[in-house]
Amino acid sequence: MNMIYPGSFDPITNGHLDIIRRAATLADTLYIAVMVNHSKSPMFSIEERVELIQQVTDDIDNVIVITFEGLLVNVFQTYPIEAIVKGLRAISDFEYEFQMAQINREMQPRAETLFMMTNPEWGYLSSSLVREIHGLGGKIDQFAPPLVVSAMNRKLEEK
């Protein structure tokens, strides 16, 4: 079965990577889909996010990194995907994810959503928190791959 793991990945964290590694063992092909969102002001451009994801998933053979704009379910028309994979961290994620899963399947009956429970080690992690901690001078080595931490340090220096 081919699966799609969508997100903003600004930046990719160890929590994302945990889900990606586990989902990749279950999927024939796992498409990691980076959402192009014009309304947010991201830390990394789409191209930078794609490159970082490609680099940190380099050792996983069945991963393909793609981008998408607009509705996630539209990607089902372009790629041979059977299911959406989402990571659930806490009950607080559940309500919104439940709603999205139902509305996505309403729009695209082929779009089943499969949930994976986040490893408790990363239960508190989010890209926005990692960005905030980094911006305020905190150490983030334990939250994201070294390559991502270096890229974030460079961004800060560029400012």
Instruction: Give the residues lining the site for ligand PNS (CB under 6 A).
Output: 6-8, 35, 71-72, 100, 103-104
Q: Which is nearer to ligand PNS, 61 or 78 (CB)?
A: 78
**Active-site residue, selected from the candidate residues 16, 49, 86, 131:** 16
Q: Which is nearer to ligand PNS, 84 or 151 (CB)?
A: 84
Under DSSP, is residue 6 helix (H, G, I), strand (E, B) or coil? strand
Q: Which is nearer to ligand PNS, 49 or 134 (CB)?
A: 49
* Dihedral pair phi/psi, residue 64, rounded to 5°: -125, 125
CA distance 60 to 44: 23
The token duo for 4 is 């799609």
The token duo for 1 is 């079965």
CB of 157 to ligand PNS, least distance (A): 26
Q: Which is nearer to ligand PNS, 110 or 157 (CB)?
A: 110
CB of 159 to ligand PNS, least distance (A): 23
The token duo for 86 is 């989402």
Per the annotation, the verdict on 139 as an active-site residue is: no
Per the annotation, the verdict on 127 as an active-site residue is: yes
CB of 121 to ligand PNS, least distance (A): 19
CB of 35 to ligand PNS, least distance (A): 4
**Active-site residue, selected from the candidate residues 49, 86, 89, 131:** 89
Give the chain's count of helices (H) and strands (E).
Answer: 6, 5
CB 86 within 8 A of CB 97: yes
CB 24 within 8 A of CB 63: yes
Positions annotated as catalytic residues are 16, 40, 89, 127
